[in-house]
Amino acid sequence: MQCMTRSLLAASLCVAMACTSCSQPTSKQSVADGASPLKNRIPPADANKYRSVRDARDWQNPYLMVQANGIDARPISAATEAPTMSPADVVAYLEKLPSIAWPYGLVVVVSENGVRVPGSDERIKRNREELVRYLEKAGVRVELWGSA
């Protein structure tokens, strides 16, 4: 039953993202000013709804994987496909997600990629720090998880 529910949620997200993919992206200036529409549309994070989640595959809100070359932004769980983008573009991506993508409220998981090439640690750290700044400025609660 849970697999069927997850499949329906994933299908709904894909349809909603396809419908919004042609819309104009939100300007980065609004994110820089802290005027993210996410706070107006998505309720605050509710830790009671996700406190028991221990496996990234079970996470139902957006999941952000920090890489040396950018951020993999997954609409739900670590097991879904994800576009790679700069930290500055993540909030605009999240703003396009439908309300159904936020069952826990305005919270995301941020995790670093555990598979690394020599010399990538500093770039990953910079990307994570920049990403967290943008998210917090937009009013998004950040749950930092260990490397995946």
What is the tens place of the pLDDT at every residue in 37-46?
Answer: 898 999 999 9
How far, in Å, CA of 63 to CA of 136, rounded?
15
Q: What is the pLDDT of residue 104?
A: 97
Q: Each residue of 90-107: pLDDT tens digit?
A: 999 999 999 999 999 999
Q: Identify any residues that bridge with 63 across adjacent strands, giving them in sequence order.
A: 74, 109
Query: What's the total number of domains in the chain?
Result: 1
On the question of pLDDT at 110 being above 90, the answer is yes
Instruction: Identify the domain containing residue 92 by its residue range.
Output: 2-145
Cα-Cα-Cα-Cα dihedral sign, residues 97, 15, 72, 102: positive
Q: What is the pLDDT of residue 77?
A: 66
57: number of Cβ within 10 Å: 12
* Residue among 13, 139, 8 nearest 74 (CA): 13
Q: What is the pLDDT of residue 28?
A: 43
What is residue 9's three-state secondary structure? helix
Average pLDDT score over the chain: 79
Q: What is the pLDDT of residue 60?
A: 94
Q: How far apart are the first and last CA of the chain?
A: 27
Q: What is the pLDDT of residue 35?
A: 55
Q: What is the pLDDT of residue 18?
A: 40
What percentage of the chain has pLDDT greater than the value 90?
57
Query: pLDDT grade, residue 67 (50/70/90)?
Result: very high
